[in-house]
Structure 1
Amino acid sequence: MNEPVREEPPSRLVTLVRRKDRPVCVMLPGAGGGLNPYLRLASHLGRHYSVYAVRAAGLVPGEPPEDSIAAMAESALSALGDRSPALVFGWSLGGTVGWEMCVRLADRGARPDLVIVDSSPLPRHASAEDDERIRKLIVGGLGPRPDEHTVARVERTFRAQAHALAGYAAEREYPGRALLLMCRDADDGISGRTVALRRWCELAPDLRTATLDAGHYDVFEPRHLDRLTGEVDAFLGLERES
């Protein structure tokens, strides 16, 4: 009697730009797990890197979300397989996960460059109103008539991610090179930017910081892309195209 074939879960590693024999860049998404905000930046980084992203767990049928930053970091490393990143990039939640990834990579003798955009190393404190506002933004990004099952998975994933951020505080230093880009807006994209910045400076002895004239949720829009890529290129020592 033949045993039923077990389907393998879909890979969480998404290829954004493949460049043979180029160093690896991995991008980690913000809350909700969508990768669309990264596509323009991935194209820019693809001049020098093979660019991958690790999608959030919980976005496909039958896949549970992860509710701790440690679990997200470990599964992202697992998704990379034998690819050793030279650059880790994360925005918001993704920056926090990227930090934990790099701490673990440092334990293994690797120190990739790390770029964090508007993330906090401190526990997230948010009201129900804050969460509802963010939930609407995430669901709104799914299009005008998203499938109800897709919406349910995205909402469940966001709740797990919010829980993970509420229970997380970065404790260990990362000895590699890091760039922290903070947004200038006064909304609650992340709370306590000044305190967060102070803590990042304590944790990262080789940290460069800059401020972006953009809001937390529009930092990847075309009108802000030149400033964002300029800061990243300067940190990485990449020449700007004329």
Structure 2
Amino acid sequence: MTAPASAPPLLLPLSRRPQAPHAPHAVLVHPGGGGLSPYTPLAVRLARRGGVSGIRARGLFTGERPDTAIDAMTERYLPLLAGLPRRPDLLVGWSMGGVLAWELGARLAATGPAPAVVMIDSFTRRDEFRTAAQRDDVVGRIMRSVHARVAHRDQPWAEATAHAHVTASGRHRVTSAHPGPALLMACASPHRRTQVERWTRLSARLRTRELDCGHFDVFGRKALPAVLAHLDEFLTGQRNRTAEPLGGQR
């Protein structure tokens, strides 16, 4: 089913500032729930270095059907990146968005320079999404964080999309290796050690930083300064390693 004409495109510009032809370009990939609103502070920070775009999910508007598999989302989003002014050098995502950023980065690396990937508390697998009660709890948290201000008329679409994404996350297993530079910010949880170990097996260039907050608190007033500081440190380190654009070396 195609999206109605009134629905915005999946790939959205988040930085309106004119960019030089060779300026770097970052893409923010939606978390579970499909919206981009939590990423506002990231978009503002990344706009200082170049262009910024965001990918929203299908399912948020009347007539759209949400994807229920990470692979389906990856296949849908990969062609969108070809329409950007230049190949993205940085992919960023929180939670499921980080998984999508990783999978897209691995696909891009197969055809050209490997982009950098930043994952904010993402997991290679979500074994804890086993029961209906666990999935419903996560959906409720997504609705309070990603869709906190959604209009009442859009509530059913947002909730259906959140359910679809929790299902997708529970089924997916990341097995793709990524040759580019990567950063994982891992929140405080009993799963953090395993989380880091699993990502480390897939990347020789992975850096990890810890966040002293819960998964749904990463963009809160207390945790956000640390998130932005880790992002700045990572990007500065990449610039210092090469005179080429970020991700320009394999």
TM-score (norm 1): 0.86
**Matched residue of 1:39: which SS?**
helix
In structure 1, what is the equivalent of residue 151 of structure 2? Answer: 146
In structure 2, relative to structure 1, the CA distance for the partners of 1:217 and 1:195 (3 Å cut) is: same
* Of 86, 92, 95, the match for 2:95: 92
In structure 2, relative to structure 1, the CA distance for the partners of 1:154 and 1:8 (3 Å cut) is: closer
- Does the 8 A contact of 1:124 with 1:165 survive in 2? no
In structure 2, what is the equivalent of residue 220 of structure 1? Answer: 219
Which runs of no fewer than 5 residues in structure 2 stay unpaired? 240-250
Query: How far has the Cα of 1:162 moved from its partner?
Result: 1.6
In structure 1, what is the equivalent of residue 70 of structure 2? Answer: 69
Which runs of no fewer than 5 residues in structure 1 stay unpaired? 1-5, 187-191
What is the identity, as a one-letter code, of the residue corresponding to 1:40? P
**Matched residue of 1:161: which SS?**
helix
- Does the 8 A contact of 1:95 with 1:117 survive in 2? yes
Superposed CA offset, 1:161-201 (max 9, x none): 12211221111210100001101145xxxxx3322211100
Q: Report whether the alignment pairs 1:178 with 2:177.
A: no
- Does the 8 A contact of 2:33 with 2:161 survive in 1? yes
Superposed CA offset, 1:114-163 (max 9, x none): 10010111244323222222222333354578324x11111211121122
Give the alignment's Cα RMSD to 1 decimal.
Answer: 2.1
Aligned residues: 228
- Does the 8 A contact of 2:117 with 2:182 survive in 1? yes
**Matched residue of 2:14: which SS?**
strand
What is the identity, as a one-letter code, of the residue corresponding to 1:217? F
- Does the 8 A contact of 1:124 with 1:166 survive in 2? yes
Residue identity over aligned pairs, in percent, reads: 34
Superposed CA offset, 1:91-115 (max 9, x none): 1010111111011001111211110
Rounded to whole Å, the distance in 1 between the matches of 2:104 and 2:35 is: 19
Q: Report whether the alignment pairs 1:194 with 2:198.
A: no
Rounded to whole Å, the distance in 2 between the matches of 1:118 and 1:156 is: 23
- Does the 8 A contact of 1:41 with 1:225 survive in 2? no
* Of 134, 137, 141, the match for 2:141: 137
Rounded to whole Å, the distance in 2 between the matches of 1:99 and 1:170 is: 9
Rounded to whole Å, the distance in 1 between the matches of 2:151 and 2:7 is: 23
Rounded to whole Å, the distance in 2 between the matches of 1:96 and 1:154 is: 20
Rounded to whole Å, the distance in 1 between the matches of 2:125 and 2:73 is: 17
Query: How far has the Cα of 1:34 moved from its partner?
Result: 2.0
- Does the 8 A contact of 1:120 with 1:193 survive in 2? no
TM-score (norm 2): 0.84
Query: How far has the Cα of 1:13 moved from its partner?
Result: 1.1
Q: Report whether the alignment pairs 1:109 with 2:112.
A: yes
Rounded to whole Å, the distance in 2 between the matches of 1:78 and 1:144 is: 30
**Matched residue of 1:25: which SS?**
strand
